A and B are shown apart, each in its own frame.
Chain A
């Protein structure tokens, strides 16, 4: 089985722009979660989608949003980028409530 894939792997944007990151889960997995990893704040949960519905949301501003499609692929969007949004964004998929399998991440740099 193919693992979790994330695109793009690297991204450079400027302040004020918006960005969309994509995650394709392992085939058959219906839950997709997103995490932000920074040196200062560590790993923080952004949101989880299950069968196209947001099931949980972390403590992030409304500039961070996401969605899930019927094929379980997920996208997250960050609008009006700030310097502090520079981070590794990790996507994880899971069949149900079990271990989560992570993708390689998208490294976003905001200049």
Chain B
């Protein structure tokens, strides 16, 4: 079974609008972490935001926020006020408690920001 599922292969958003990228996960661990990374066409993975399974508040980092719904096992990324430079691939990833630093990634969502 897929551990991380990103159901939107591609999305368009108008510049300055908000966009939500979906991520659902599957784990039997009680302790885990969820990450979002951005990968521009250059290939480098850029860390955006982190949410721990025991964190009660949704994580926020500037224009990025994570809508964490533990019971539904979802960790959606919200980007507010989209910019042209936000056009990239976005990956959701999970680190389980007993897996060291091993990240399991979803298939990614390609976001395209329209001017």
* B43/A97 in contact, CB under 8 A: no
Question: Does B50 sit at the interface, judged by CB under 8 A?
Answer: yes
Question: Does B29 sit at the interface, judged by CB under 8 A?
Answer: no
Q: Interface on A for B, CB 8 Å cutoff?
A: 31, 33, 35, 42-45, 48, 50, 55-56, 58, 88, 90, 92, 94, 97, 99-105, 107
Given A43-B91, A99-B35, A99-B50; A56-B100 close (CB under 8 Å)? yes
> Number of B residues whose C-beta is below 8 Å from A?
22
Query: Chain B residues with Cβ under 8 A from A103's Cβ?
Result: 44
Q: Interface on B for A, CB 8 Å cutoff?
A: 35, 37, 42-47, 50, 91, 93, 95, 99-108
Query: Chain A residues with Cβ under 8 A from B95's Cβ?
Result: 97
Given A92-B45, A104-B44; A42-B107 close (CB under 8 Å)? yes
Question: What total of A-B pairs shows CB separation below 8 Å?
Answer: 62
Main secondary structure of the interface of A (DSSP, over half): strand
Q: What would be 6 A-B contacts, judged by CB atoms less than 8 Å apart?
A: A43-B93, A56-B101, A58-B102, A88-B43, A101-B47, A104-B44
**Shortest distance between the CB of A6 and any CB in chain B (Å):** 10
A43–B103 Cα distance when bound, in Å, is 9
